[in-house]
Amino acid sequence: MNPYSVFLLEQPPLPTDATMEATVPETSPDTAIPPGLTLRRTLRGHDDEITSIAFSPDGGRIASGSWDGTVRVWEADTGRQVLRLEGHEDWVRSVAFSPDGGRIASGSDDRTVRVWEADTGRQMARLEGHEHLVLSVAFSPDGGRIASGSWDGTVRVREADTGRQVLRLEGHEGPVWGVAFSPDGDRIASGSVDRTVRLWEADTGRQVARLEGHEGPVWSVAFSPDGAHLASASGDRTVRVWEADTGRQMARLEGHEDEVWSVTFSGDGSLLASKSKDNTVRLWRTGTWEVVARVYEPTGKHLSLSAIAFHPSSPVLVTLGEEDTAIRIWDLDLDLLLGAPPPVPTVHYTNAKVILVGDATVGKTGLGLVLTGHEYAPTDSTHGRNVWTFDSRKVELGDGREETRETLLWDLAGQPGYRLVHQLHLDEVAVAAIVFDARSETDPLAGVRYWDRALRQAQRLQGDSALPMKKLLVCARADRGRVAVSPGRIKALVQDLGFDAYFETSAKEGWGIAELAAALRDAIDWDSLPKVSSTELFQTIKAFLLDEKQAGRLLSTVDDLYRAFLKSANAPAETDDLRAQFDTCLRLVESRGLLRRLSFGDFVLLQPERLDSYASALINAARDEPQGLGCIPEEIVLEGRFRIPKEERLPEAQQEKLLIIAMVEDLLRHEVVLREYADDGPLFIFPSQFTRDYPDAPEPHGKAVIFDFEGPIANIYSTLCVRLAHSGLCSKKELWRNAALYTAQVGGECGIWLREIEEGRAELTLFFGDDASEETRFQFEEYVRTHLQRRALPDTITRRRIFVCPSCEIPISDAAAQRRREDGRDWIACNVCEGVRISLLDREERVRAARVPAIAEMDRSADTARDRAVAATVMEGKEATQDFDVFMAHHTPDKPKVEDIAGRLKDRGINPWIDKEQIPPGRWFQDVIQDAIPNVESAAIFIGDTGLGKWEIVELRAFISQCVDKDMPVIPVLLPGVTDVPKRLLFLKELRWVRFESLDDGDALDELIWGITGEHPGRMR
Ligand SMILES: Nc1nc2c(ncn2[C@@H]2O[C@H](COP(=O)(O)OP(=O)(O)OP(=O)(O)O)[C@@H](O)[C@H]2O)c(=O)[nH]1
Ligand SMILES: [Mg+2]
């Protein structure tokens, strides 16, 4: 969603009165009113676009909020405007009726929620407290409370009468755009830019579930009337339907061709309506999730996130019409909508992902081949991964519908270098087969535990919406001789790790293959997997993309791919929407891991597994670094001067460069690597690939706390090293394979030492220099603990405090310390040193000024450092592909300021076109623009206190109209010192502008980035 996109201003005239009659769109099959809907009435009156509408509980009235700052109340029957609620000092974004119809709540950019008497329009309350825009409001079903979601990332729950805040729901990592109460009032759902939906206990504010799955911001959430389901609308162009109890994702609705802005259920639960930026409202039949109607409703310039509403009890729908300036009331013919076959056929499918994991050379690829119907053939070690179709069939659903069930088999390379990388591919797995080699000379079962833990950890990261996963244990290459492990040990392992079954196989001889294939098939619980509703066109595009992939196409621009699609055998005739549909499909296929859009140059990588092979080669190269420091200069990396198996190397240098940049971006994003400046330029450091051992182990001086945990150790350790280095609490001093030493900003040393106890289980010892303050120790430990809680298996983490005599450094036994503490003593005498008392106080007890640990701050600082490193890499890609994001138009005297902002944009990975916009003497401004326009995605017009210089109004208008033709956002930017758009440029006010209070105004920069990319940075400050 880009709030800055220009849809108006096709011609230069100054803005006119918004109440004008809108032109009736020409009727084409796309814009015609679909059968089953009758337009009853259109309500007009707001002075600007409408953002939100709500029906009163008796269906008699409609409330609407608008950019004009007012809430209006209308009689549904007559269309008469009965009230105009004034008081908000900024745009109104959301409205809600109380369940008894007596009150209306509204949320606004003025950071308040107001409560109004619905009959008289009297303002009853003004609820303050949110630290930023209020984006959504909802009444509890008993009318006693109001929940509001805000840009500040919180949901606040307040008493509707007194305004007293009763709960503050914290957890989202970005603005909260959607909030809803469950019909029984027990739960609150919220959706955020952080891509999650969360469920909270309405009484206590406890977060009960985190629903993961969306790949874009969540703009709106709605419960079904029976409370069983929850729907969410997202910038990823899908609607998802979740089981409200369990958080399981039930359905994924594809079809919209742009961001989906709002969802709501009809009063009887039979329909779900969704509104999208693609200028349509779609009605879906619940349960079967078929589109039963598609209404053409072009949107306005701005976001409208609660812009559809059903009558609570009658078949009536209201939408926003005339580019969000009017309210349209529709009568629905439910018999027709629900009874007749849908006008556009919906394609139903379900995907299942089956993975083969295990150590290198255990026989995964051999199995993969024969399981997918290929002949057995000897294979080399895999680089990256293979993805095969294991099974694809159509199933009758009984009600005339048919579903395609497709199972993909992923064979992940097992070499150690991939362990870090594969952790990223273990999501949404329905069945995992962990493979081991019967005849391994060492311990054949060693890798099994590792992969089991890695899978469990990946499940955990997917929150409460993780799929239930079945696990099979598979012994491969059994033809090579008797299994070197006793049946008893295998049985114990199967029980211990909760495998669903055990198989002995030989791909070569075909032993056990049919049984394993049948077991894999049976293990898929199709009903538990999200059902996808999609369109035939999307299926055609997807099939084309997969064909291109199969044919070995590697890297292509979206344009080239699209052109190839148009020429392909099954391509439909080109329409205005086809390109948008194609782009949407690219995203949908990407979300299955089958291709990757690069963050620069409009490129699509059709073989994303190539990223894995390069990543693994790089990780190995770092490990082989002669000094054992796990690092490698950026320059060498970007030029591909590290060892890669010959058959894996891309033949073409330019393509390789782009691939490497994308690969580094991934590694930085996942914090597998640190980017640091050394004397001779930036370096990449892989903490997990250090080979040097920590010399002071096993007894580092100042041992204080030991954590014991299970999980993917290399990942946990390297991300901890990376994040601590960027936490702002301390800076990195030295790294070893198994230890890291930091210096706290306020002085004092802190260290971690890792000891692997067995595969997947480790001990992490924290130690401190004598000069480390209590507060530093406390925060350091808190940070490590939080990190482990996030990344290790939570029920495996234990903590032990070590008490050491300050004089002789001999530790006190755990039992002794515990006994003393149980006896109520906070000290113990040293056994060795006469008269020395050892304090037994721990953690908070020792920190006198018990300040809340600044974990959130440290986290933010680590996130920022990561994002900067990622941005620097993305900029490399943008430079290599001459990919500019924004044309920075400005007047020469403002250049220093504009350059300053340009620099800040670069730090965030946005590539500005700044050096080329200088208008050489004698050249028409128009010509320069002509050069720039094809190369940029958006334009920012900087207005300083000296005005616009050469920017003459006519030219500016011409420029803007060109942007309109290209559907390119234009963002007027007011530089510091300018408080308003100058009079003679008043027409710029039609556009949404950004104002910098000072050059380091972070909010303004976020807004500008939002305008440029269409994606809100989603971060709160
Ligand atoms: N005797 C015998 N050899 C096999 C069988 N399956 C695979 N192999 C051979 O064993 C070696 C390793 O097998 P792969 O399937 O490539 O091993 P992998 O688990 O995919 O290993 P990575 O790709 O490195 O993770 C290869 O030389 C295969 O040809 C089998 O059933 N019997
Ligand atoms: Mg293999």
- pLDDT of 132 reads 86
> How far is ligand 2, taken at its centre, from the CA of residue 363, in Å?
7
CA angle, corner 864, sides to 4 and 557, nearest 5?
Answer: 55
Could you tell me if the CB of 422 is within 6 A of ligand 1? no
| Whether 761 contacts 770, CB under 8 Å | no
Say which range, 202-216, 236-250, 364-378, 767-781, has the weakest mean pLDDT: 767-781
Which pLDDT tens digit goes with each residue over 438-484?
Answer: 777 777 887 898 899 889 888 887 778 788 899 999 999 999 887 77
> How far is ligand 2, taken at its centre, from the CA of residue 511, in Å?
19
What stretch of H or E contains 995?
strand 994-995
Residue 852 has pLDDT above 70, yes or no: no
- pLDDT of 1017 reads 62
| Whether 692 contacts 629, CB under 8 Å | yes
Place of tokens 């797995």: 429
Residues lining ligand 2 (ion), CB within 5 A? 364-365, 382
- Mean predicted lDDT score pLDDT of the chain: 86
- pLDDT of 822 reads 83
Question: Going by CA atoms, what residue is nearest to atom 3 of ligand 1?
Answer: 477
Residue 104 has pLDDT above 60, yes or no: yes
Question: Going by CA atoms, what residue is nearest to atom 4 of ligand 1?
Answer: 477
Residue 975 has pLDDT above 80, yes or no: yes
Which pLDDT tens digit goes with each residue over 625-677?
Answer: 777 677 888 999 999 999 988 888 998 999 999 999 999 998 888 888 888 77
Both tokens of residue 359? 């150590």
- pLDDT of 910 reads 93
CA distance 399 to 107: 44
Which pLDDT tens digit goes with each residue over 607-624?
Answer: 998 988 898 889 888 888
| Whether 502 contacts 359, CB under 8 Å | no
Residue 169 has pLDDT above 90, yes or no: yes
Place of tokens 């999200």: 530
Band the pLDDT of 952: cuts 50, 70, 90: low
Which pLDDT tens digit goes with each residue over 249-299?
Answer: 999 999 999 999 999 999 999 999 999 999 999 999 999 999 999 999 998
- pLDDT of 10 reads 27
Say which range, 29-33, 125-129, 250-254, 668-672, has the weakest mean pLDDT: 29-33
| Whether 658 contacts 557, CB under 8 Å | no
User: Looking at residues 590-610, what average pLDDT do you find?
Assistant: 89
User: Looking at residues 422-427, what average pLDDT do you find?
Assistant: 78
- Single-letter amino acid, residue 732: K
User: Looking at residues 400-407, what average pLDDT do you find?
Assistant: 91
Which pLDDT tens digit goes with each residue over 338-395?
Answer: 988 887 889 999 999 999 999 989 999 999 999 999 999 999 888 888 889 999 999 9
Q: Which of 585, 213, 258 is nearest to 274 (CA)?
A: 258
DSSP for residue 396: E
User: Looking at residues 961-979, what average pLDDT do you find?
Assistant: 83
> How far is ligand 2, taken at its centre, from the CA of residue 715, in Å?
22
Q: How far is CA 545 from CA 74, 350, 408, in A?
A: 49, 18, 16
Band the pLDDT of 892: cuts 50, 70, 90: confident
Residue 801: is it exposed, middle or buried by C-beta count within 10 angstroms (0-12/13-18/19+)? middle
CA distance 422 to 665: 16
- pLDDT of 17 reads 33
Backbone angles phi, psi at 539, to 5 degrees: -65, -40
Q: Which of 617, 630, 631, 690 is nearest to 660 (CA)?
A: 617
User: Looking at residues 880-907, what average pLDDT do you find?
Assistant: 88
Q: Is the dihedral of CA 961, 962, 966, 969 positive or negative?
A: negative
Higher pLDDT, 150 or 383: 150
Could you tell me if the CB of 896 is within 6 A of ligand 1? no
> How far is ligand 2, taken at its centre, from the CA of residue 648, in Å?
14
Both tokens of residue 679? 């004397």
Q: Which of 157, 160, 199, 152 is nearest to 177 (CA)?
A: 152
Say which range, 177-186, 568-577, 673-682, has the weakest mean pLDDT: 673-682
- pLDDT of 929 reads 65
- pLDDT of 701 reads 83
Higher pLDDT, 354 or 712: 354
| Whether 489 contacts 443, CB under 8 Å | no
CA angle, corner 911, sides to 906 and 916, nearest 5?
Answer: 115
Residue 983: is it exposed, middle or buried by C-beta count within 10 angstroms (0-12/13-18/19+)? exposed
- pLDDT of 509 reads 95
| Whether 438 contacts 476, CB under 8 Å | yes
Taking CB atoms within 8 Å and a gap of at least 24, the contacts of 373-381 are 376/507, 376/508, 376/510, 381/413, 381/414, 381/415
DSSP for residue 463: B
Question: Going by CA atoms, what residue is nearest to atom 8 of ligand 1?
Answer: 363
Q: How far is CA 726 from CA 258, 421, 856, in A?
A: 37, 22, 13
pLDDT exceeding 90 applies to what percent of the chain? Answer: 51
CA angle, corner 98, sides to 95 and 103, nearest 5?
Answer: 80
Band the pLDDT of 954: cuts 50, 70, 90: low
Residue 989 has pLDDT above 60, yes or no: yes
- pLDDT of 178 reads 95
- Strand-pairing partners, residue 947, are 944
- Single-letter amino acid, residue 394: K
Which pLDDT tens digit goes with each residue over 921-947?
Answer: 555 556 666 666 777 888 888 888 876
Could you tell me if the CB of 44 is within 6 A of ligand 1? no
User: Looking at residues 796-813, what average pLDDT do you find?
Assistant: 82
pTM: 0.83
Q: Is 269 helix (H, G, I), strand (E, B) or coil?
A: coil
Could you tell me if the CB of 381 is within 6 A of ligand 1? yes
CA distance 878 to 859: 28
Q: Which atom of ligand 1 is nearest to the CA of 377?
A: 29
Band the pLDDT of 9: cuts 50, 70, 90: very low
β-pairing, 501-504 with 470-476? parallel
> How far is ligand 2, taken at its centre, from the CA of residue 387, in Å?
11
| Whether 95 contacts 65, CB under 8 Å | yes
Band the pLDDT of 436: cuts 50, 70, 90: very high
CA distance 184 to 743: 53
Question: Going by CA atoms, what residue is nearest to atom 2 of ligand 1?
Answer: 477
Band the pLDDT of 850: cuts 50, 70, 90: very low
CA distance 746 to 722: 20
Per-range mean pLDDT, top range of 692-706, 748-762, 950-964 = 748-762
> How far is ligand 2, taken at its centre, from the CA of residue 697, in Å?
37
- Single-letter amino acid, residue 501: A
User: Looking at residues 181-199, what average pLDDT do you find?
Assistant: 95
Could you tell me if the CB of 584 is within 6 A of ligand 1? no
- pLDDT of 60 reads 95
CA distance 114 to 146: 10
Q: Which atom of ligand 1 is nearest to the CA of 476?
A: 31
pLDDT exceeding 70 applies to what percent of the chain? Answer: 92
User: Looking at residues 863-870, what average pLDDT do you find?
Assistant: 87
Could you tell me if the CB of 439 is within 6 A of ligand 1? no
* Farthest-apart Cα atoms in the chain, separation: 97
Both tokens of residue 723? 């994040």
Both tokens of residue 484? 């070197």
Place of tokens 């430079």: 879
- Is the omega angle on the peptide bond into residue 853 within 30 degrees of 0, that is, cis? no
Instruction: Give Cβ neighbours of residue 795 (< 8 Å, ≥ 6 apart).
Output: none
Both tokens of residue 262? 């709002």
| Whether 112 contacts 137, CB under 8 Å | no
> How far is ligand 2, taken at its centre, from the CA of residue 525, in Å?
27
Q: Which of 301, 339, 271, 336 is nearest to 33 (CA)?
A: 336
Residue 18 has pLDDT above 70, yes or no: no
CA distance 551 to 889: 44
Q: Which ligand is nearest to the CA of 364?
A: 1
CA distance 311 to 53: 11
Which pLDDT tens digit goes with each residue over 314-341?
Answer: 999 999 999 899 999 999 999 999 988 8
C-alpha distance across the termini of the chain, in Å: 21
User: Looking at residues 205-209, what average pLDDT do you find?
Assistant: 92
Could you tell me if the CB of 881 is within 6 A of ligand 1? no
Residue 604 has pLDDT above 90, yes or no: yes
Question: Going by CA atoms, what residue is nearest to atom 14 of ligand 1?
Answer: 363
> How far is ligand 2, taken at its centre, from the CA of residue 249, in Å?
32
- pLDDT of 2 reads 41
User: Looking at residues 584-597, what average pLDDT do you find?
Assistant: 87
- pLDDT of 32 reads 87
User: Looking at residues 492-514, what average pLDDT do you find?
Assistant: 95
